[in-house]
Amino acid sequence: MTVRWFDSTAETFAEDFTAFLKLRRAQGSADVFEAASKIVRDVRAHGGAAVAEYTLRFDKVVVDPDTLQAEGMDLLEAAERCPVPVREALDFAAGRIEAYHATQRPADHTFTDAAGLELGWRWTPIDAVGLYVPGGRASYPSSVLMNAIPARAAGVKRLVMVAPAPGGELNPAVAFAAVRAGVTEFYPVGGAQAVAALAYGAGVLGAVDKIVGPGNAYVAAAKRIVFGDVGIDTIAGPSEITVVADAGNDPAWIAADLLSQAEHDPMAQAILLADSEDFALKVMAAAEAQLKQLATSTAAQAAWRDFAAVVICPLEEAAGIVNLIAPEHVEIATSEPDTIARDVRHAGAIFLGRWAPEALGDYVTGSNHVLPTSGAARFASGLSVLDFLKRTSIQRIPQQGFQALADAAETLARSEGLPAHALSISVRRGGG
């Protein structure tokens, strides 16, 4: 199966490679947005009745319009069915994720400036967060941990999980992860209707303040629609990996790393940057062999065929090309990875060295695997404790400080045509 090859020394490389990257970065279709908009409007107008109707239609699950619960579906009971080895692995991962994110909590700060003002800021957690957990292909308990644990570390008290349960089945590992991470409410609903219920409330489900977690195109569209009424984390796109590798690697290792993201989704993207065409050919051969063995080969082969690429380039050019891609994940598997990494400005997460497969980061390094995709690493960061905190500025102004600032503030207020602003200052100076 042929993938696209590029040579950084080609005269039209930048133009051709940029055009290639744009192939999968188009927004969702108008039909999806229109359908999601209708669902959101219905839920906003009719609450739990609309959620129950859509859940029966799409998931074949009967939920009570008032409680949004389904008979025989209990989070704790489902968690008990999680196999012991999986429980132990999730508990191990959760411990590392908790430890990593505990260090991200920022400190409040105050200082007194030369004019005598006491200035600063303080951090407070969001009151209520909704966690969307996909069903089907992307029903991943690791994502529950990655979304819920930072929220708990930030001090969020109410953490509401929604997850579709097609046919009345909830993944026991997802249930265990939710319990382990401290989810406080669970509703077995999904799709755009679940996003709308989180945003506006439905039945006993009270509206939340922010919605996080990945989903399909309808979920992504619904998050766009409700943004502003509630906060959202990001609009997640298909998974991505860029691997920078030299010939000192085992080609099979690099091939497996590339396929670790290709198997996620038919639109996932895997890109190899190599300084040796001979080595790149060996990686491609290893990948072709591995593709035939994967249980996920249908998705992986589609992604490999349509969106995978090889770029032959000198290692000193690799950072610049990575910045052009702005990938979700980048592995730098070279003899001196820091030399390249120091110039990488746009990437969701960087993995350094030959023993740093991205798959470890998906589960157990502790760093968050919810990362910007589709080039959003140019302006966005991965999920963290900061996403669940608000920063409030604090200003204590004594009389002498007021006197030091009043002239400039009053002048600016008058220049902007805002007399009440000016009056609130002049009245304190005896000029009102």
Q: How far apart are CA 182 and CA 400, in angstroms?
A: 49
Side-by-side strand order, sheet with 118-125? 109-112, 118-125, 389-396
The strands making up 329-333's β-sheet, listed across from edge to edge, are: 4-7, 309-312, 269-274, 240-245, 329-333, 349-352
Q: How far apart are CA 418 and CA 300, in angstroms?
A: 61
Q: What pairs with residue 118 in β-bridges?
A: 112, 396
Cα–Cα distance measured from residue 421 to residue 34, given in angstroms and rounded to the nearest whole number: 44
**What is the Cα–Cα distance from 121 to 131, expressed in whole angstroms?**
28
How big is the CA angle at 407 (ends 402 and 408), to the nearest 5 degrees?
Answer: 100
| Cα distance between residue 349 and residue 371, in whole Å | 7
Non-local CB neighbours of 25 within 8 Å, separated by 6+ positions: 237, 374, 375
Q: For 179, list phi and psi in degrees, rounded to 5.
A: -65, -45
Q: In what order do the strands lie in the sheet with 210-212?
A: 185-187, 158-162, 128-132, 210-212, 231-232
Task: Judge contact between 175 and 74, C-beta under 8 A.
Answer: no
- Residue 68 contacts by C-beta under 8 Å, 6 or more apart in sequence? 48, 51, 52, 187, 188, 189, 197, 202, 203, 204, 205
- Positions annotated as catalytic residues are 328-329
Q: How far apart are CA 151 and CA 159, in angstroms?
A: 8
